[in-house]
Amino acid sequence: MFIFQPAEEGGAGAKAMIEDGLFEQFPVDAVFGIHNWPGMPAGHFEVTPGPIMASSNEFRISIKGVGSHAALPHSGHDPVFTAVQIANGLQGIIHA
């Protein structure tokens, strides 16, 4: 049996399918997931033992600062500069 999960990146697709009674209508003993891999030749797939690419996470970062006049930048704490540094640092994790 093949199950094509909608909204898999956001994590809501499987929940909606289960709530709609998917496994009551089509009982199965186990479910194995596979993720599309760009660049894989058409008609091919690969498997690996254990979980892989099995996480979708969200988090929020709040930055508070104090604005200042351009003539007195030392009198403030620029939240935009801080946010840019955080964004650059997080993007750097991907390339590590």
- Let me know whether 83 and 49 are in one domain: no
pLDDT-based confidence at residue 86 (cuts at 50, 70, 90): very high
Q: Which of 90, 62, 64 is nearest to 78 (CA)?
A: 64
Is pLDDT of 52 > 80?
no
Are residues 16 and 7 in contact, defined by beta-carbon separation less than 8 angstroms? yes
Residue 54 neighbours by CB under 8 Å, 6+ apart: 33
- Let me know whether 38 and 2 are in one domain: yes
DSSP string spanning 19-68?
Answer: HTTHHHHS--S--------TTPPTT-----SS--S------------B--
Q: Which pTM does this prediction carry?
A: 0.44
Is pLDDT of 56 > 70?
no
Residue ranges making up the domain that contains 76 = 59-96
Farthest CA pair distance, the chain:
69
Q: How many domains does the chain have?
A: 2
- Let me know whether 47 and 65 are in one domain: no
